[in-house]
A and B are shown apart, each in its own frame.
Chain A
Amino acid sequence: MGRYLIRRLLGAIPLVLGIATIIFFVLSLAPGDPVSIYTAPNVSSEVLEQMRQNMGLDQPVHVRYVRWMGSMIQGDFGVSFARNQPVREIVQQILPNTLILSLSAITLAFLTGILIGVFQAVRQNSLIDNSLSVVALFFYSMPSFWLALMLILIFSLTARNVWDWPFYFPASGMTSVGHEFMSPLEQVGDRLRHLALPSISLALVLAAGIARYMRGSLLEVIRQDYVRTARAKGLPERTVIFKHALRNALIPVVTLLGLYLPFLFSGTVFIETVFAWPGMGKLVVDAIGQRDYPVVMAGAFIFAVMVIIGNLVADLLYSVIDPRIRYE
């Protein structure tokens, strides 16, 4: 197992380096001078030159590449152009926010997705099965930023100003102003309230895929002999489904976890922007617009690592759930 892990991780290194290299060269091909973004009008060309020097942009591309690779391998991502702050510090402050959002969204998505899928499989081809498919896919088919805005208009604006809900959902941020003065219990409640809309809008998109997968997988398992045997033994349907079938049916669903970890990034870009959630997606997108190369590079690097971890997690979960699978 340990050996397998090490081999996988070693195998991932060239992949990550390759991705980083490609992003680096795409960025360096791009037109536009980062320096001109950070200056006011009327600035002289000497000042621009000086800034370029201060930012290390005066070197030719290959020198910058070697330098950047060298420091990145040592864990130094450089200093953000736009935020005047070491990238590592920024990432340390911002990565946890994205993780909180994506993990809660994933948890929520798997819970609802699996539930819906099981329900659909049990009632295969019924009206309920079909309508659940349609409803789940309905949310899946929405542009996520639009779904997010709708949720805000309904559960924040209308809920407070029209329906007078005492606990309407806040439209933005991770905590309320004054969070630090609350009791620990209130703090958890406050965080959950802020987490609700963003994680629901992310989870709704994911849940459809999970439900679809769960349904198919359970249908396949239900037809297998051991399930028939269990039924023949006279076990109640509930036991058959939950004790016997579900466990095996979950195996392929769990592998989705690995696939969704990276997917979450693309979702979070929009969700983070709409809900003013200070996370990686928004950080990187802003950085691209501002030609903040160090941040873009670090972001791409982190996302690539996340994908690899995601795949690894999926494989490991596989072996945890299915004892037949052993990695050597």
Chain B
Amino acid sequence: MSEVWTEARSDARSRASRRVRFRGGPALGIVLPGLPQLLAGRLAAGGYVTALWVGLVTLLMYRWERVWAAPTGALDEQIAFATLALGIAGALAWSIRDLRKGRDPLPMSRSQWGLASRAFRKNRVAVLAVGMVAFFYLVALLTPFIAPFDPTFQGDLLADRLSGPSATHLLGTDHFARDIFSRLLYGARISLSIGFVAVSISITIGTLLGAVSGYLGGAVDSVIMRGVDMVISFPRLVLLITIIALFEPSITLIVVILGLTQWPQVTRIVRGEVLSLREREFVQAGAALGFSRVRIVLRHVIPNILAPVIVAASLGIGDTIVLEAGLSFLGLGVQPPTPSWGTMVADGRNNLLGAWWISTFPGLAIVFVVLSFNLAGDGLRDALDPRLRS
């Protein structure tokens, strides 16, 4: 414990020394939030906020008309509008608060989460990865403002088909003369939501079953664990392909099936955690006080197993996106004309010899997003596991 303590102190000291000290900082912080912090040497926080601010303001300037029309537009435009507004407001608020904090340092949090978050922030790769993930989600939400074309709009089939990257079509066009860049942006929404929703489903089921199984033990535990054994021994891909091939592939079906086949890993992790938690004092105390089992599971057990679950979720989203791409390869992914990165890579692969850009850009997008999720997940795991904090 002493090691950790000194570390935390030195961390706090170096943090204090990097507070914004120069004059004019507050004014600059309102014009360009994040820049004062960036100049003060806080690369991550300052850099992210600056980039966010510059990006959003640029977008606002270039796509003023679309933004203006958005509040009365379609749902995705409204969401984009809200994202934009929140992003700008958030950056400003953070900037002001952070600059004020400089004069009045807050006490360092010493909780488990505080320690973890500090350990995490020291892992530069992971911080960068989280930034990337946030970037991709932000882009996905803002797509209606960014995308230069409608993703399903087919240009002149003869003139614009399969044209390489150019000023009009940043990433080229596909065999329907559709703009790859726009499709990539809209595809981000599909692919990221597939990952997110499927993992939410599996995490929910997995956590509940794992907590119940570990906490109740006995017959319930063995029934659930036999179920887990069975689903784990199931060749997942065979099951996925069978179900999707035999019934009509729709986004809902794909998401649900992906979610419903992924929970056993989570169940195992959670059950293990719960088994060890069960013996700990605060849970025992709750039982002694006569709280109902449901209440103990919901109020005391589940919050404490969040850490491993978050790690599993961030790794799981990446895996799900890759798996959706695999299903697309077999013709069983998200169906056209809806673009998902998986279908874009899979559909473009027949053009690899002539028009490499069709499948290469979505392929790289998948790699970078999944990589970010994995690196973030890795960093989280390292930060949350006290044994690995060096």
Nearest neighbor of B233 in chain A, beta-carbon distance: A307
Q: Hey, what's the 0/1 contact readout for A20-43 against B, CB within 8 Å counting as 1? A: 001100110111100000000000
Are the CB atoms of A265 and B326 closer together than 8 Å? no
Chain B residues positioned under 8 Å from A216 (CB to CB): 388
- The one of A143, A265, A273 in contact with B345, judged by C-beta atoms closer than 8 angstroms, is A143
- The one of B237, B342, B368, B390 in contact with A125, judged by C-beta atoms closer than 8 angstroms, is B390
Are the CB atoms of A141 and B352 closer together than 8 Å? no
A313 to B245, CA, bound (A): 33
Are the CB atoms of A307 and B235 closer together than 8 Å? yes
Are the CB atoms of A142 and B366 closer together than 8 Å? yes
How far in angstroms is the closest Cβ of chain B from A227? 15
- The one of B229, B322, B345 in contact with A141, judged by C-beta atoms closer than 8 angstroms, is B322
Are the CB atoms of A140 and B236 closer together than 8 Å? no
- The one of B245, B325, B345 in contact with A289, judged by C-beta atoms closer than 8 angstroms, is B245
> How many residues in A have their beta carbons less than 8 Å from beta carbons of B?
49
Known: A141-B318, A265-B235. A288 touches B241 (CB 8 A): yes
- The one of B246, B359, B375 in contact with A31, judged by C-beta atoms closer than 8 angstroms, is B246
Are the CB atoms of B242 and A296 closer together than 8 Å? yes
Q: Hey, what's the 0/1 contact readout for B85-97 against A, CB within 8 Å counting as 1? A: 0000000000000
Chain B residues positioned under 8 Å from A141 (CB to CB): 318, 322, 366-371, 374
Q: Hey, what's the 0/1 contact readout for A289-328 against B, CB within 8 Å counting as 1? A: 1000000100110011001100000000000000000000
A104 within 8 A of B: no
Nearest neighbor of B379 in chain A, beta-carbon distance: A133
Nearest neighbor of B346 in chain A, beta-carbon distance: A145
A18 within 8 A of B: yes
Chain A residues positioned under 8 Å from B176 (CB to CB): none
Are the CB atoms of A143 and B329 closer together than 8 Å? yes
A16 to B226, CA, bound (A): 12
From A124, A134, A153, A288, name the one whose CB has the most chain B CB atoms within 10 angstroms.
A288
How far in angstroms is the closest Cβ of chain B from A29? 8
Chain A residues positioned under 8 Å from B329 (CB to CB): 143, 145, 270, 273
B170 within 8 A of A: no
Known: A133-B378, A146-B325. A32 touches B246 (CB 8 A): yes
Known: A146-B345, A270-B326, A300-B238. A307 touches B232 (CB 8 A): yes
B247 within 8 A of A: yes
**Chain A's interface: helix, strand, loop or mixed, by majority?**
helix
Nearest neighbor of B375 in chain A, beta-carbon distance: A137
Chain A residues positioned under 8 Å from B125 (CB to CB): 130, 133-134
B349 within 8 A of A: yes
How far in angstroms is the closest Cβ of chain B from A276? 15
From 337 to 369 in chain B, residues with beta carbon under 8 angstroms from any chain A beta carbon are 342, 345-346, 349, 352-353, 359, 363, 366-369
A94 within 8 A of B: no
How far in angstroms is the closest Cβ of chain A from B366? 6
A128 within 8 A of B: no
Chain B residues positioned under 8 Å from A31 (CB to CB): 246-247
Are the CB atoms of B326 and A153 closer together than 8 Å? no
Are the CB atoms of B242 and A143 closer together than 8 Å? no
How far in angstroms is the closest Cβ of chain A from B380? 13
Chain A residues positioned under 8 Å from B375 (CB to CB): 133-134, 137
8 further A-B pairs in the complex, CB-CB below 8 A; given A19-B233, A307-B233: A19-B230, A125-B390, A144-B326, A262-B235, A266-B235, A300-B238, A303-B238, A304-B235
Lowest 10 CB-CB distances: which A-B pairs, in order? A30-B246, A141-B370, A303-B235, A143-B325, A266-B237, A307-B233, A141-B371, A145-B329, A137-B374, A141-B367
